[in-house]
Amino acid sequence: MQRKWMFTFILLVVGFMVAVQYNTVQQPSERDTRDIWAIRNELAKERKLHSELLTEVRALDETLDKYNASEEGNKGQALLETVEDLRQQAGITEQSGPGIVIDVVPSQESVAMGTPLHEISPELLTRFVNEVNRFKGLDMDIDGKRVTALSAIRDINGQTTVNGLPVTIPPFQIKILSPDIEKSEKLYNFLQSSSILDDFYLDDFILEINEPENNVKINGRSDQSENRYLKELPKGG
């Protein structure tokens, strides 16, 4: 008899757990209210990120294959080439290629009304950089200051700076390099219809976007990058 009651009690516990689990599945605590297009956009972002990661992994695999295929005497050359690629990615070296030049100038209305010239705010410059970074593989400098993923655009003592260097009051130029002329044309068309033009106009500035060119030159970073983790091994070590 005692065993029968024990068996009945176990069945009740199991039945209760199954009922709770079923109720949780049927009535989730937080319902996903996104429509199909929001889900598709989210999926597209994840696919884009996945593609970028695969590209980076492929590039690293190619570098490793280059080292493995090199003879002992050529490994030093392969290492130098890798270092040069990293210097370019870090924005240390001067570069040239297809791109566009943008003249940042005061608006005609502000000049006609005698509005005092003023500098561009860090927030506006940051919005511009974020807008351009919708396109991948670009290199940029703002007023001769190289902009990379590690660059800081901020206010220092009331002055807008890029990499700690002050940005002059307009007019000045923004230069953007693309991998090829076709991507420069896409960027040109994108910026022509971008709302960032209105953002600059509201701050009394005009972006004069020149047509793509085959040979645009941008500066390398003039500031020194800080090395926090790499340590030089002792000679012979």
127-155 pLDDT, tens digit per residue, is 999 999 989 889 999 999 999 877 889 99
- What pLDDT is recorded for position 17? 67
User: What span, in angstroms and rounded, lies between the C-alpha atoms of 178 and 186?
Assistant: 10
R_g (Cα) of the chain, nearest Å: 28
95-218 belongs to CATH 3.30.70.1880: yes
Work out the mean pLDDT of the chain and round it to a whole number.
Answer: 78
User: What span, in angstroms and rounded, lies between the C-alpha atoms of 15 and 25?
Assistant: 15
User: What span, in angstroms and rounded, lies between the C-alpha atoms of 52 and 107?
Assistant: 39
For the stretch 182-218, pLDDT in tens is 999 999 999 999 999 999 999 999 999 999 999 999 8
Rounded to two decimals, the pTM is: 0.61
Q: Is 226 helix (H, G, I), strand (E, B) or coil?
A: coil
The CATH 3.30.70.1880 portion of the chain extends over 95-218
